[in-house]
């Protein structure tokens, strides 16, 4: 979160970001491993965090840090297959969001970060009560948004409300609020295309590509989701679900292997 807060400031000094990440050697080592992986395929391998920032840019490295941080935050709860699946869903959403943003005018690095954070409330619930939440994920069936009421019954809050509270507590930029709170809201055809709308579609596309947050999730047909994209993004995005699924699987495999 400190990385996110620092990168969001204007005129951030790269050495400040490097010193912050490097202050935790284990974290820095994992960040470097992901940054040098095939997911980012840097032309010149980085031997230090400062080099990684120089090669990839601060905004790209912020996404790497969040990916590593979310995996560490889940910790032992990842031993539950349902929670591990949840991590895959967040990664898939981030990868889809990044690729989708690349075809338009939205910053692809911010899109990736919003994608990996869109279910941060759900991840928090999984950490608080891993067995109970894993059981809910394993047994619930219905549309993606139908789990919200069950979460409220179990915790008093659903994961969207939890995520919004976390974004406020962490004093993150307002872009993250829409990503974590509104990603299950229906897409409005007249709504302006921005990060919030992009994450909505990316979340549903991750489901359609085989990376839903829970086994019994009812998915929306991929071709229907393509129709919800603006013309430019639709013309440049994967026309077939299978091609997207292969791309997402490759990205997840890279992160899982480092």
Q: Per-residue pLDDT tens for 55-96?
A: 888 889 999 999 999 999 999 999 999 999 999 999 999 999
Q: Say yes or no to pLDDT of 100 above 80.
A: yes
Neighbours of 173 (CB within 10 A): 16
- Segment 139-163 shows an average pLDDT of 96
Q: Per-residue pLDDT tens for 213-255?
A: 999 999 999 999 999 999 999 999 999 999 999 999 999 999 9
- DSSP code of 221? P
According to the model, what pLDDT value does residue 8 have? 80
First-residue to last-residue Cα distance in the chain: 22
Place of tokens 């790209």: 60
Say if residues 121 and 161 touch (Cβ distance below 8 Å).
Answer: yes
Residue 42's pLDDT band, with cuts at 50, 70 and 90, is: confident
- Give the whole-number percent of the chain exceeding pLDDT 90: 79
According to the model, what pLDDT value does residue 172 have? 84
According to the model, what pLDDT value does residue 173 have? 82
Residue 186's pLDDT band, with cuts at 50, 70 and 90, is: confident
Domains with residue ranges and CATH for the chain: 77-256 (1.10.3210.10)
According to the model, what pLDDT value does residue 40 have? 83
Q: Structure pTM? A: 0.93
Q: Which residue has the higher pLDDT, 179 or 13?
A: 179
Residue 2's pLDDT band, with cuts at 50, 70 and 90, is: confident
Mean pLDDT of the chain: 93
3-state secondary structure of 129: coil
**DSSP letters spanning 62-126:** HHHHHHHHHHHHHGGGGGSHHHHHHHHHHHHHHHHHHHHHHTSSS-HHHHHHHHHHTTHHHHHHH
Q: Say yes or no to pLDDT of 147 above 90.
A: yes
Using CA atoms, how far apart are residues 94 and 88, in angstroms rounded to an integer?
10
Q: Say yes or no to pLDDT of 189 above 80.
A: no
Place of tokens 């019994």: 216
């Amino acid at each position: 979160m400190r990385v996110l807060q620092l990168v969001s400031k204007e005129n951030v000094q790269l050495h400040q970001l490097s010193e912050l990440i490097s202050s935790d050697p284990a974290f820095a080592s994992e960040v470097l491993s992901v940054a040098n992986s095939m997911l980012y395929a840097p032309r010149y391998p980085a031997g230090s965090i400062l080099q990684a920032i120089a090669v990839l840019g601060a905004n790209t490295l912020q996404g790497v840090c969040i990916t590593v941080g979310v995996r560490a935050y889940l910790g032992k709860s990842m031993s539950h297959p349902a929670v591990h699946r949840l991590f895959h869903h967040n990664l898939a959403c981030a990868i889809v969001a990044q690729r989708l943003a690349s075809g338009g005018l939205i910053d692809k690095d911010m899109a990736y970060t919003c994608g990996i954070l869109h279910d941060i409330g759900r991840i928090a619930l999984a950490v608080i009560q891993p067995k109970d939440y894993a059981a809910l994920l394993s047994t619930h069936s219905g549309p993606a948004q139908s789990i919200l009421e069950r979460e409220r019954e179990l915790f008093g809050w659903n994961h969207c409300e939890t995520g919004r509270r976390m974004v406020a507590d962490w004093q993150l930029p307002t872009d993250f609020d829409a990503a974590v709170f509104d990603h299950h809201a229906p897409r409005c055809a007249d709504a302006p295309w921005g990060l919030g709308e992009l994450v909505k579609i990316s979340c549903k596309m991750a489901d359609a590509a085989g990376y839903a947050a829970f086994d019994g999730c009812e998915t929306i047909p991929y071709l229907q989701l393509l129709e919800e994209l603006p013309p430019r993004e639709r013309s440049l995005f994967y026309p077939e679900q299978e091609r997207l699924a292969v791309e997402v699987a490759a990205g997840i495999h890279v992160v899982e292997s480092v």
